[in-house]
Chains A and B, each alone.
Chain A
Amino acid sequence: MAACGVTARVEPFMETTSNLEQGESIVILGRKHQANYQTESSLVDCISGRLSSGSNGIPIFPSRRFENALFPWFEPSTAPLTTPEFATLLENDLVFDQIAQTGVRYIVWLDGSTDRTDSGGTISCSAGPGGAGCVGLAWWEDDARYDATVWDIKTLDSAGTIYVDYTGRSMIPALIIPIPLVVRTQQAACEGLSEQLSTFFVSNQ
């Protein structure tokens, strides 16, 4: 049972805190251009929700609305990967004006995924006239690795990157009844990233 839990590593790198003036907001986008993984929409939604909630909530522009308003420039195959590429994209007046209309000041790019890295054990279940039951132990390990890179649209510069790595081990011991002890590794990564990002942005609204 003690083996069930989360280990975390968080490496923030931010030049300075960033102020959001009246009418400004941030948008959180997931990278989806890699062949072997894509950043989950559920993580984007989780971080957006956490940052915008509470009395000190940060104004968040919905990611899907942003992607739709700027279609086709922020699709997996077209989104700028670097700030110089982004600067080139902003030379397009239509794109520049549309981003200005959204009021988005910072783009937070999430890149990474939560993967099952290991699993094992067995649970056997049987049923008979006298009753039913299970015996055994099954476990699995998830690894949530993400980095969040913040782009400042005004300065066309990267304002910093946060790297998090959460490893969580879940298990289901069964002695007649299976008892799932599930660790929500992606949720832990969401909470860690949200906490770091919330210290980075200061809303003056």
Chain B
Amino acid sequence: MLLERLLPTLIAMGLLGCASEITVISNVPTPLIAPMPYHVAVIIDNDLQGFQYNENIDGQANWSITVGPAAADLVRNIFIGLFEEVIFINSQEDSVDLNQIDLIVYPRLSRFEFDAPIRGNDIFAESWLQFTITAFDTSGNNTGEALVTGYGRSEIFRDREGSVNEATQSALRNAGVNIIATLPTSLKL
């Protein structure tokens, strides 16, 4: 009798257990740095805003990790701090007063990887991501490209999804630090 009552719940739990969906929460603040004296247009396109990573791991689950909104938020906050004046556009085709800007920057989330071990001595969930940041002059010529990575990890306690979320948040923060540290040199600003 008890089994009959519990069976639908157990089946539902089993099915739900096969899918792990995460929407990464943004937590990268505007950096405490002196802005560089540039007027910059930053492209945040739909690919970045809607970036979602899907992976089916054998013996684990179908993971679906929505990173886009948090990554777009990171880009907004970091570039607001990095440059004196920043406007955000959706694509290179958006109308921009070219007399008002020195540079167009196009960041893309080009790679994302994660690991959430379920056995063994490894107790950390880890995330790794890479931004490809391209700069254009006001004539549309490519003036430089930078690859910036971020890595984060979080201890797995009870909630593996929560740990992957935290690891990815840390990876985004780390990418923010690396953008600040390396972008001016990489783009020869």
Contact = CB atoms under 8 A, between A and B. Distances in A.
Main secondary structure of the interface of A (DSSP, over half): loop
B32 A69 contact: yes
Contacts of B30: 71
Interface stretch (A72-80, A145-153, A158-166): A72-80
Interface of A: 38, 40, 42, 68-73, 75-78, 94-95, 98
A94 B33 contact: yes
Given A71-B31, A71-B173, 16 more contacts: A38-B155, A42-B157, A68-B27, A69-B32, A71-B28, A71-B30, A71-B32, A72-B180, A73-B32, A75-B173, A77-B174, A77-B177, A78-B177, A94-B32, A94-B33, A94-B34
A77 B33 CA distance: 16
A78 B180 CA distance: 12
Return the 8 tightest CB-CB contacts between A and B, nearest first: A72-B177, A68-B29, A71-B29, A75-B177, A94-B32, A72-B31, A71-B31, A72-B180
Contacts of B180: 72
Interface in B28-81: 28-34
B77 to A, nearest CB: 9
Contacts of A71: 28-32, 173, 176
A76 B31 CA distance: 15
A38 B32 contact: no
Interface residues of B, number: 17
A72 B173 CA distance: 8
A97 to B, nearest CB: 9
B176 to A, nearest CB: 6
28 contacts: A38-B153, A40-B155, A42-B157, A68-B29, A69-B29, A70-B32, A71-B29, A71-B30, A71-B31, A71-B173, A71-B176, A72-B31, A72-B32, A72-B33, A72-B173, A72-B176, A72-B177, A72-B180, A73-B32, A75-B174, A75-B177, A76-B170, A76-B174, A77-B177, A94-B32, A94-B33, A95-B32, A98-B32
A95 B33 CA distance: 9
Contacts of B170: 76
Contacts of B32: 69-73, 94-95, 98
Contacts of B27: 68
Contacts of A75: 173-174, 177
A146 to B, nearest CB: 15
Contacts of A73: 32
B183 to A, nearest CB: 13
Interface in B163-180: 170, 173-174, 176-177, 180
A38 B151 CA distance: 14
B165 to A, nearest CB: 13
Interface in B111-167: 153, 155, 157
Nearest to B150: A77
A95 B32 CA distance: 7
A89 B34 CA distance: 14
Contacts of A42: 157
A98 B28 CA distance: 17
